[in-house]
Structure 1
Amino acid sequence: MAYVANLPVEVILLICADLPNSDIKSLRLTCTRISHIAQLRLTRVFLSADPTNIRVFRAIADHERYRKQIKEIVYDDARLTYWRMSSRTGFEKPRWEETVAMSTEGCPDWFAKVCHQNIAHLAIRKGQDIDLPHHIMRANQVNAQLPLGICWQYYKNLVQQQHEVLISKQHEEAFLYGLTRFPSLTRVTITPATHGWLFAPLYETPMIRAFPYGLNYPIPHGWPGGGGMLSLWEDESEHYKNRWHGFRMVTRVLAQEASHRVTELLIDVNGLPTGLNCSMFYTPSEEYNNLVTILSRPGFRRLDLPLSVGGQEGPDYDWIVFRARYLSEMLSEAEELEHFSLFTTLGMDSGHSLDSVVPGGGGSMAHFIPLQKVFPVSDWDNLRHFQLSRFMVTQSDLMGLLTAISPTIQTVSLNFLTFLDNGGNYHSLLNEIQDTLKWHEREPAFRPNLIIGVDVDPPYIGKGIWVEKEIHKFLYEGGRNPFLADCPNRIEAGMGMQRDTFDIAHERPYLPSASLPSPSIHVPPKDMYMLE
């Protein structure tokens, strides 16, 4: 190490540029000179109802050097839950039932079942991939899994600590403190997907990094998921609404505190079949009004909005959230918006049906909702990125939106869309974009980048096929349409990339399953869109 310490400062900085923060931390402990040169790259901090996350959050907020680097707060809204407890929200002190069935592994039966399912899901998510380094790392943790009795005791302690934080509101106090201590803060992300899957978290928060090696536990996915009729937000109890506790707390504080510089609000489910209960946008509510206040602030420029829409297609609701004016009026408040994304659970809910009357159609035209009545793109003069995922469309209406969109647009992402009966398809949409919008006639620097995502077959949480390079070649370089003419919503084999939003290392060219080697694992469960 003496040789490394004697290297020029520029060389040490080049070495650090290729190291993760965890390795830089170890390097800084070697000697005084290295500790002064090798600085951590801290631009985001994590917060949740967990004492470890709160302690690290406050330590960074109190550090005169690191606090000035923080640009983003990621709030983990995936709370750990009990199987049997007195409160569905976790705010009341759980009272364990002595009669709960215990397994021979020293933990309740339900806990053992979930942990065994976690291991099975690792193989399912790996699919037909060869053994890559990240697969081997997870396999090593599987082999080193702690006895489930120990996992259970550790998990119970975590939930008890979480309960104490929720009662004392330490997490809310810390968030408010961070708003005053991070002068470069511009983004707040709220997510229920932090824990990802076993041994593969989406974010390695201080809480998760502190887990003992090989810890197996029920992976929390935060907000309610799956199908079923959603009641109107105004009719729900506080217990139910507090299942979105982190979202409610963060948006309330951001709305009430006018001195912060937050201009980006990302509500990120990362492809999970969940989101905000969409009915909170049917009539004004505290949560709705808080969002309006945040979006109307000068300089607000980004909103990522996931909505859970289970049951909205039924006759009792008929998509009232999107047909009412409140969602559009809220979005209109963000006059300086540059980046907008909407994601719904359409097609991910069990029993979902749009009553298609055309063979191969996406659904009845009775479900049609004019896009520009929901998304005021003509009011967003600075819009650069627009993403629409899992929404009902017709090609003509979608073309109308793309025609009205600001010429400042740089990226358009249209993912997992449902084309209603006789309402077009991806193949003809690309042809019409090329012939009508004539983006290819713009200067290269002003040509929008179009991205389209479609589901893998069978559908699987987080996985999809994204087409970008081939669309660019088709629109601007004379390439061929990547969607099949006879199956116009399917991608031609060999085009597009299959990715997993929960595993950045999972990326491979799309090929039909018939051309791949037979998998050596069991097939996925029937409906992998449903949360446990």
Structure 2
Amino acid sequence: MSPRTSPVPSSGMATQSPWFLRFPPELSSSIVSFLPNRDVKSLRLTCKALSDISPFSSARVFLSANSLNIEVFRAVADHPKFRHEIREIIWDDARFVSAPLIWESVRPIIEPERMEINSNEECPIWFTEDCAENRYTIKHRKYRDVDRPDHVARQHQLDAQMPLKACWKYYQQLLDDQRSIIRSEDDEKAFLYGLERFPQLGRVTVTPAAHGWLFTPLYETPMIRAFPYGFNYPIPRGWHYDPVDSQVAEPLPWLEATDDYKELWRGARIVLRLLSQVEKHNVSELRFDSKQLHTGLNFLIFDQPCEECNQFAAIMKRPGFQRLHLSLLTGSSGYWTGFQSGLFRQAVSLAKELTHLHLSTTFNNGSHFPMRDPPIPLKEVLPLKEWPNLSHLGLSNFSIDTSELIDILKLAPSSLRSLDLEFIEFPFDELCLTGLLERMREDLGWTERDQSLKPTVTIAMEGQRRWPGRFVKLSSDEVATFLYGSGENPLNGDSTSSPKSGYGINYDLFEAEYTRPNVNFMDLKKLGIIC
């Protein structure tokens, strides 16, 4: 019997196989490969034939202080096939709160008026206000964009929003579940189990940004996928985060901080401790990634010796450790004490096999008018001579001196293949990014290298962004035409916020459909992107 024909049933009536199954297997598999895992799972459930041509494959699992996330995590860890495919654990380090806290000192402040119950909605005033803010945010993030399918999908959820009383009840269930997990330490136990059960695990990512914006999560974790349709809730942000999205919280001295304050980094601290203590694991890449939210690890853990600093250093020292992405909460004032002690430099200098480093701060982050902070002394932060195999360097939200950056790049090993510069400021320098590119072309000698040895350079700038995660980025080709050829400098005079019109692409880390060219409003309107 041909595999592309269906058997004849007992009635004698021949049935024809679905049209999709008549495609060559290679074509069917190629089509399925474009589907997100959520849709692949649904397709596999329709029939055995479609299940056979739709193999589920996922290289990552999610973890947080949530019982459903832990249940799925453990199920994958116990699966005889899937556990061998896992290469990354993503820890959602944002947690639900019973009340909004403002950390102006080592003790949190609760605004009592927001704790009162809204008699109409039967939930706290702070909850109703945050849910209303979510609706406002959806509207204003869309701004003048034409209705895209993702906009329509979000609007459908808004129109079908559950009554706030029901939202509050479900939110309380999530909060109770979270408390139970934290008491039992089941999230920590699951992470330890994963280190044992995932033989191909190479990357651990901890982020405060998993929930993204309402109905637009960064990651669709099992918990988030299970939310009721139209569920509006205060979007949790992990770590120390200012409730006003455009502001930056000031980090509190770590050795003086309470346990409650340190618990804002619960997932990050567990990961630091276990990766430094467990001997048998293959994790070679560690990412504490804020996704451009105005937060990060409290960099004052590097101000004076402490457990977290020692654990970080122990991970850097592990044989085979190669990649580090580190978002640091430095405040916005340019007071870089956490780097002055030398503990950070000492720790990262232990990573002798480091190939990739991306380092971001919150200096000037969220400030529309930079405060002209003193530049970070890169030579005191980055021990490039200790990384002979470094192939990628990324710096984000750094206040720098042009000459010092040029000197640092001269020290970079010949193995350097890519350089990312994001939201860079030049506080006491007449030069800006435009001048920096000119000096890179003139002073570094990269133009004389063979084509394959020339580092690719990308530059990200604020552009017209109003929300964390939005930016305009110059591609490596746009920079290379000037840096290594006779092309025009894509940067715009003394501006550090946007390249020349027509250069670069606007992105949104939380909304892939937002992507658009960097052109003026009239051109965007002609392209049918805005109205």
TM-score higher than 0.5 here? yes
Could you say which residue in structure 2 is the equivalent of 1:321?
A: 338
1:200 to 205, 213, 216: 216
> Does residue 309 of the first structure (1) align with residue 330 of the second (2)?
yes
- State whether residues 305 and 343 of structure 1, in contact with CA within 8 Å, keep that contact through their aligned partners in structure 2: yes
Could you say which residue in structure 1 is the equivalent of 2:174?
A: 158
Per the TM alignment, residue 107 of structure 1 is displaced from its structure 2 partner at its CA by 2.3
The one-letter code matched in structure 1 to 2:417 is Q
Distance in 2, matches of 1:224 and 1:399, equals 33
> Does residue 252 of the first structure (1) align with residue 273 of the second (2)?
yes
Per the TM alignment, residue 221 of structure 1 is displaced from its structure 2 partner at its CA by 1.0
Distance in 2, matches of 1:240 and 1:351, equals 28
SS in 1 for 2:99: coil
Q: Which digits, 9 at most, give the CA deviation of each residue in 1:177-200, with x for residues without a partner?
A: 111111110000000000000000
1:422 to 400, 421, 429: 429
SS in 1 for 2:295: coil
1:502 to 490, 493, 510: 510
Per the TM alignment, residue 19 of structure 1 is displaced from its structure 2 partner at its CA by 2.3
Distance in 1, matches of 2:364 and 2:521, equals 22
Distance in 1, matches of 2:421 and 2:328, equals 16
Matches within 5 A, 1:140-179: 140-179=156-195
Note closer, same or farther for the CA distance 1:129–1:378 as it changes in structure 2 (3 Å cut): farther
- State whether residues 491 and 499 of structure 2, in contact with CA within 8 Å, keep that contact through their aligned partners in structure 1: yes
The one-letter code matched in structure 2 to 1:348 is N
1:342 to 340, 353, 359: 359
- State whether residues 230 and 312 of structure 1, in contact with CA within 8 Å, keep that contact through their aligned partners in structure 2: no
Distance in 1, matches of 2:198 and 2:494, equals 55
Per the TM alignment, residue 2 of structure 1 is displaced from its structure 2 partner at its CA by 3.1
2:462 to 455, 459, 467: 455
The one-letter code matched in structure 2 to 1:177 is Y
> Does residue 285 of the first structure (1) align with residue 285 of the second (2)?
no
Q: Which digits, 9 at most, give the CA deviation of each residue in 1:385-418, with x for residues without a partner?
A: 1100111111101101111111111110111111
SS in 2 for 1:450: strand
Distance in 2, matches of 1:515 and 1:37, equals 43
Per the TM alignment, residue 66 of structure 1 is displaced from its structure 2 partner at its CA by 0.5
Could you say which residue in structure 2 is the equivalent of 1:445?
A: 452
User: Aligned residue pairs: how many?
Assistant: 496
SS in 2 for 1:2: coil
- State whether residues 70 and 184 of structure 1, in contact with CA within 8 Å, keep that contact through their aligned partners in structure 2: yes
Q: Which digits, 9 at most, give the CA deviation of each residue in 1:318-357, with x for residues without a partner?
A: 4221222100001101111111011111112669964xxx
Could you say which residue in structure 1 is the equivalent of 2:116?
A: 100
> Does residue 369 of the first structure (1) align with residue 376 of the second (2)?
yes
Distance in 2, matches of 1:380 and 1:116, equals 49
Distance in 1, matches of 2:36 and 2:370, equals 46
Tell me: higher relative CO, structure 1 or 2? Use CA pairs within 8 A at least 6 residues apart. 1
Per the TM alignment, residue 140 of structure 1 is displaced from its structure 2 partner at its CA by 1.4
RMSD: 2.5
The one-letter code matched in structure 2 to 1:307 is L
Distance in 2, matches of 1:250 and 1:180, equals 14
Per the TM alignment, residue 5 of structure 1 is displaced from its structure 2 partner at its CA by 4.8
Could you say which residue in structure 2 is the equivalent of 1:60?
A: 76
Distance in 2, matches of 1:243 and 1:228, equals 13
Q: Is the deviation greater in 159-168 or in 400-409?
A: 400-409
- State whether residues 421 and 460 of structure 2, in contact with CA within 8 Å, keep that contact through their aligned partners in structure 1: yes
Could you say which residue in structure 2 is the equivalent of 1:276?
A: 297
- State whether residues 332 and 362 of structure 2, in contact with CA within 8 Å, keep that contact through their aligned partners in structure 1: no
Could you say which residue in structure 2 is the equivalent of 1:528?
A: none
- State whether residues 432 and 495 of structure 2, in contact with CA within 8 Å, keep that contact through their aligned partners in structure 1: no
Note closer, same or farther for the CA distance 1:440–1:311 as it changes in structure 2 (3 Å cut): closer
Distance in 1, matches of 2:293 and 2:182, equals 25
TM-score normalized with structure 2 length: 0.88
Distance in 1, matches of 2:461 and 2:273, equals 35
> Does residue 408 of the first structure (1) align with residue 408 of the second (2)?
no
Note closer, same or farther for the CA distance 1:281–1:349 as it changes in structure 2 (3 Å cut): farther
Note closer, same or farther for the CA distance 1:229–1:23 as it changes in structure 2 (3 Å cut): closer
Per the TM alignment, residue 59 of structure 1 is displaced from its structure 2 partner at its CA by 0.5
Note closer, same or farther for the CA distance 1:387–1:34 as it changes in structure 2 (3 Å cut): same
- State whether residues 323 and 369 of structure 1, in contact with CA within 8 Å, keep that contact through their aligned partners in structure 2: no
The one-letter code matched in structure 1 to 2:192 is L
Gaps of 5+ in 1: 89-95, 355-361, 519-532
Per the TM alignment, residue 22 of structure 1 is displaced from its structure 2 partner at its CA by 2.0
1:32 to 27, 37, 48: 48
The one-letter code matched in structure 1 to 2:473 is W
Note closer, same or farther for the CA distance 1:512–1:31 as it changes in structure 2 (3 Å cut): closer
Note closer, same or farther for the CA distance 1:328–1:84 as it changes in structure 2 (3 Å cut): closer
> Does residue 382 of the first structure (1) align with residue 399 of the second (2)?
no
Could you say which residue in structure 1 is the equivalent of 2:471?
A: 464
Could you say which residue in structure 2 is the equivalent of 1:2?
A: 17
The one-letter code matched in structure 1 to 2:290 is V
Per the TM alignment, residue 207 of structure 1 is displaced from its structure 2 partner at its CA by 0.3
Q: Is the deviation greater in 254-263 or in 477-486?
A: 477-486
Distance in 2, matches of 1:474 and 1:161, equals 55
Q: Is the deviation greater in 428-437 or in 46-55?
A: 428-437
SS in 1 for 2:486: coil
The one-letter code matched in structure 2 to 1:176 is L
Per the TM alignment, residue 512 of structure 1 is displaced from its structure 2 partner at its CA by 4.3
Per the TM alignment, residue 491 of structure 1 is displaced from its structure 2 partner at its CA by 1.6
SS in 2 for 1:420: coil
Matches within 5 A, 1:207-286: 207-226=223-242, 227=248, 229-286=250-307
SS in 2 for 1:134: helix
Note closer, same or farther for the CA distance 1:136–1:253 as it changes in structure 2 (3 Å cut): same
Could you say which residue in structure 1 is the equivalent of 2:65?
A: 49
- State whether residues 423 and 496 of structure 2, in contact with CA within 8 Å, keep that contact through their aligned partners in structure 1: no
Note closer, same or farther for the CA distance 1:209–1:229 as it changes in structure 2 (3 Å cut): closer
1:135 to 151, 156, 159: 151
Distance in 1, matches of 2:525 and 2:49, equals 53
What percentage of residue pairs aligned between the two structures are identical?
A: 40
SS in 2 for 1:146: coil
Q: Is the deviation greater in 395-404 or in 434-443?
A: 434-443
Distance in 1, matches of 2:49 and 2:375, equals 65
The one-letter code matched in structure 2 to 1:461 is P
- State whether residues 103 and 109 of structure 1, in contact with CA within 8 Å, keep that contact through their aligned partners in structure 2: no
The one-letter code matched in structure 2 to 1:248 is R
